[in-house]
Structure formats: structure tokens, C-alpha cells
Structure 1
């Protein structure tokens, strides 16, 4: 078993009588990345702010590399936070922005600028040292923000939806690039997003967050294929949720224009939309009996609002695990 580098133990956060999250616990080993994903307003950003020291935990303990940091001020924690927007200093050059945090560590200017140059090179911005933020694109500015956060050599890097302001293509490029950089540097990180695909791509582990609780934490593939409960299954959207205890992966569903011979695990649906992905036709079918829409691959040639039967083999029907924490 790998020793825990980050330990968040039974933490809670309340504002007056309003509980934001309650009794949260998780661990990470050195160099691991946890993606926290969930809908807006579920408490993800507040958790990140507590980890950064910008807000105090109401209860619980927070340990980094065997040192408790629960009550340390933000500027004394070995933690860096990358925000949704770069928030660079407009009057400073790129090199000065990156070196800014080092000025509080009593490091001489020559050494600060040397370290800044190394990081600028690492984030692929060699030659931009003397430029100002307004001369850079959004993706380049976010790289500078990341370099500034890494300059102080944090033991934990927190990322709060850092790609949300970028276009789709650039967002995909940035998350692949950032993940590789974190892995190359063995940096432990917590990444917050509301984008399920982004969470799956970035994290070694995915924590699905809702209503101030982790509904499930595990490896991305496991969380996707073996959801703990109906909320997790519905959030990822690729399951037919039969009831609070039972689900069927959409890839196990079949469409037919006539009633199947089997009488169990069959529903009548209505075709509501057709999409094409990588040469495949997928139909969005609304099933009134379970008040749910599923997207199923088929070559039937259905028309809008046409009645169709959705069925599944009994062997593909699963029960929710209700497993909230990954096995250590």
C-alpha cells in the first residue's frame, strides 16, 4: 500500500446554519490527481478554497506529507491554487508574473528570474518573457498562471475549472498538456470541474460530488461502468436507470419496431432526435415509464416521434454498488 501524501479527514464547512459539505474524507499518494466533478452549486469550489486556506474548515483535519496544515494561513501552506481565469498582473511582464510568488521567499532577484525562465520554458512559452498579458491568447495566459502557481514548488496544486473560459478545441489541448506536465513533475493535484469528460481525462481518480457529499470516488473507468447510485449513473448519462436500485448500460440496450418476444426488461419509447458520431447513427429515445431519455446506437432508420421498443437481456441488468470510497 502506497503511503498517503494528502489526507483530508472528516472535514466539514458551514456558513452560519448553512452546511456546504459535511464529513468529507479522501487520501492521495504523491503525484496522484483527483478530479472532483459535479453540478454547479454542489460545494466543489468551497472545498477547494478550504484546502487552499482561503476559508477555514468548520471541522476535521487536513494533512500534507505528515504535517497538519488545517489551521495554517493560506500563505503558509505548501499549496497553490489556479483559478478559472488567469488573473495575471497586467503591469508586469510574463517573467515578472511567474516570479512574483518567489519574492515572498527571500530569494534574490537573479535566482527568481532564473526559476521563472525554467518554468516559462516548461510551459512552452520561451520567447514570451518580456511580453505583457494582453499580448497573449487565453490559453497562453492560463499557461502563465499555471507556471506562476508552480514557481513556489507547491506540494499540492489545486485547479478550479481552469479551462472553462477556453474554446472547445483549446480546452482539449490544454487539459492533455497540463495532465502530462503534472505527471512529468510528479505533482499531486485536485482538479475541480463540472465537465464529466474533462474529469475522466484529467484524474487518476474521479470524485462525483453532489449536495456536499462524495457520492463515489474511484478510478474513472470504474466510476463510469459501476456507478454507486442513481445520481452517479444519471450524471454520466450513459445508463438507463430503472429504479433507485437498478440500472442498465445504454450499450446493452436494443431497439426494435415490434414488441420483443421477452416480456421482462422491455419499455415503449419515442424517438426524439437522431445524431451522428464517428459514422454511427444514435437515437435519443424518451421512455415515459421511467421518465428518462437514453441515447442508443441503431441502424433501424427511425423517424421523429416514431414508437420504438427498448429492451435489455436480463444478464445486463445491474444493481448499484453504493460504494462511496475507493479501495486503498
Structure 2
């Protein structure tokens, strides 16, 4: 295991800056995610850490020591890609063994290590199967075991679950997370899936256009994003324009009491409220802002309602499925985790 520090990392392709002064500090044994849309620089960052790509400026430190002049094969880094890249002519045992053979480890030690890994990733009985004979989840376990065989200091995962169906994806997320916690190996996961990042990470680095916009815990990123750009990575939010004074947020249709400094006064702000932090009730409910349901989308556990309040549409996620389009309702706001941005 190693701590990892990325310092002012810059990378350009054809005079286009794809990484712009990336800075990250990852503690030993942590799992962190690089989260962002396609083309934001996530995989480029991972490939630079692995030594597959060079970089223009900056440095990468493992346990405080620079690795920029250390060749790929000597960095003690293992990477698992979304396509697994298993050798089709080798069986499960031979695929896992491959890195150990390259390191010229004695056969008896190789056999012992491979069998330990087969036990660890629960592939007993599949040792002589070839990649074409096993499922996607089993292939992924082989790829992970092969990566772990060389005892890497850092494990890199490049969208490893994207080729799996939804049920297997969830199973493999939990499997890899439990394995990572058991081995306490420093891990960097690249993903564009917010749910995956939230459930698997100690911390998440939100990347947009080659920059890290915020690096924080999943809870803080979801509840207290530092910008609308970061907020929208984690799903659609409601933004309500208005002004703040004497601890109140106010516009032409709502007046909300906020837990903020009462001396703060701002004339042009946007209050961010997630769909989950708005409660919907019958129009006879004693408190709340009245509105009319304009659209209803059933999603199983929850229903998304679009509610018109004086020509302004709010989206509400609720487990109350019985309200109907054109029905008048009252809504109340949970302002515990309210965030506002100046315009």
C-alpha cells in the first residue's frame, strides 16, 4: 500500500490541454473515485499514474517519492480495464499466474499465490476454464486476481463494471469494495456513474474539462457541492432565484427561514434544493406552498412530480404515488442541507 500525491499535473494532446494542474492527495488504503463526464480527463489521469502515458508538467509521488522517472513495470501499480484483456489462450490459473512468471517467481511460490487468489476471488473449480468459457463477472474476477498477484502498492480501476448488466454490476461493486477493504490496498476508480462513486468511495474527485472542481467525501459532495457544476454531476436539482436577508430566503412565491448568519444579505442568489428534500402533501395540509401537479413519472420506489408554482416548475421525488396530474397540492421544504450560490 502507498499514499499517492498528484502535484500540478498537466497534459496536452495536439496543443489541447486535457489535464490542467491536477492536484490530489490520497491516503494509504483509501479508495477514491475520479468522477465526471466522458472526455474530462479521468482515464488520462489513470494512465499517467500507471506509466502508460507521459505527462507535460507536475509530479506523482508514492509515499512521498517521485515515480515520474520509474518505468511502468517497476511502479508496483496494477490496472484493471473495462475490457479485462485476459489472454484467450490461457486458462484462469495461467492468466492469474502471468505476472508472477514475468517476475520470475519460483513455480512452487507461484502455485501457492495463485491458489490463494483463486480462493480470495471465489473462483475455485474454474482454474482450467478459458475466458470464452466463463461469465463476464468471472472474467472480471480473473482480471482483478491477476492484478493483485504482483502485490501492487496501488490498484487502478478504469470503469471496470461498465460492460456488466445492472444486477451483475451491483454484485461486482460490492465484491470489489469488500475485497479492497479486506486488503486495504490504495485504489483509484475511474467512473462516470455517480451511484458507483457514491457507494464505493472514501472520497470523490469531480472532474470537468480537465480540472478537479471538488475533492471531498460522498456526503459532502452530494449535500454541500461548491458549485452548480458539481451539484449537477449528482443529478438534476431545483434552483430557485431570490434574495437573502435577516436569515430568510425570499422571492415572489416562497419565504423560507434558513439556518445562516442573520447579518448576511444577498440580492441575487440561487437556492439549491434536491428533489428528495421537498415534501408533497394534500392541499388541505395546514402549512406549505400551494401548487398544481403538471406531470407525474412513476419510477417504482419513487414518483417524480413536476409541480407548477406561479409558472415556476419544481421537481419533487416522493414515495406517495397517489397524487394525480392537475391536482392541487402543498409542498414543504427540508432546509437542513440547503445550499445557495451567488449569481
Counterpart residue number, 1:229: 227
Q: How many residues align?
A: 314
CA separation in 2, counterparts of 1:45 and 1:260?
A: 51
- Equivalent residues of 1:268, 1:308 under 8 A apart: yes
Contact 2:292-2:326 at 8 Å conserved across structures? no
Contact kept in structure 2, 1:163 and 1:171, CA below 8 Å: yes
2:304 maps to which residue? Answer: 283
Would you say 1:172 and 2:170 are equivalent positions? yes
Which residue is 2:196 aligned to? 198
After superposition, the Cα gap between the structure-2 partners of 1:204 and 1:259, relative to the gap in structure 1 and judged at 3 Å, is same
- Is the alpha carbon distance of 1:174 and 1:291 closer, same or farther for their aligned partners in structure 2, counting shifts above 3 Å? farther
1:242 is paired with a residue whose SS is: strand
Residue deviations 1:13-57 (CA, integer Å, cap 9, x gap): 111211111111111111100011111121111111111111111
CA distance in 2, matches of 1:300, 1:100: 55
Q: Give ranges in structure 1 of 5+ residues lacking alignment.
A: 322-328
- Indicate conservation of the 8 Å contact 1:11/1:61, yes or no: yes
Question: Aligned pair 1:62/2:60, yes or no?
Answer: yes
2:112 and 2:45 mapped to 1: Cα distance?
A: 34
Residue 263 of structure 2 is matched in structure 1 by: none
Q: By how many angstroms is 1:271 displaced? A: 3.1
Structure 1 residues 97-130: Cα deviation after superposition (integer angstroms, max 9, x where no partner): 0011112212123322221111111100012111
- Structure 1 CA distance, aligned partners of 2:273 and 2:149? 47
Alpha-carbon distance in structure 2 between the residues aligned to 1:267 and 1:19: 49
Q: What CA deviation, in whole Å up to 9, does each residue of 1:180-201 have, x standing for no partner?
A: 1111111000001111111111
Greater CA deviation, 61-70 or 230-239? 230-239
- 1:155 corresponding residue in structure 2: 153
The 1:45/1:317 distance shift into structure 2, 3 A limit, reads: same
Q: Aligned-residue CA RMSD in angstroms?
A: 2.9
* 1:75 aligned onto 2:73: yes
Instruction: Tell whether 2:249 aligns with 1:249.
Output: no
Query: What is the TM-score normalised by the length of structure 1?
Result: 0.85
Instruction: Tell me the secondary structure at the aligned position of residue 176 of structure 2.
Output: helix
Mapped contact 1:238–1:295 kept (Cα < 8 A): no
Larger radius of gyration: 2
Map 1:1-328 onto structure 2 (within 5 A).
5-237=3-235, 239-242=237-240, 245-255=270-280, 271-278=294-301, 281-285=302-306, 294-297=315-318, 299=320, 301-304=322-325, 312=333, 317-320=338-341
TM-fit CA distance, 1:284: 3.4
Q: What do the CA deviations read for 1:196-221 (whole angstroms, capped 9, x no partner)? A: 11111111111111111112111111
Change (3 A) 1:97 1:129: same
- Are the structure 2 counterparts of residues 76 and 305 from structure 1 closer, same or farther at C-alpha, using a change threshold of 3 Å? farther
1:151: Cα distance to partner?
Answer: 0.7
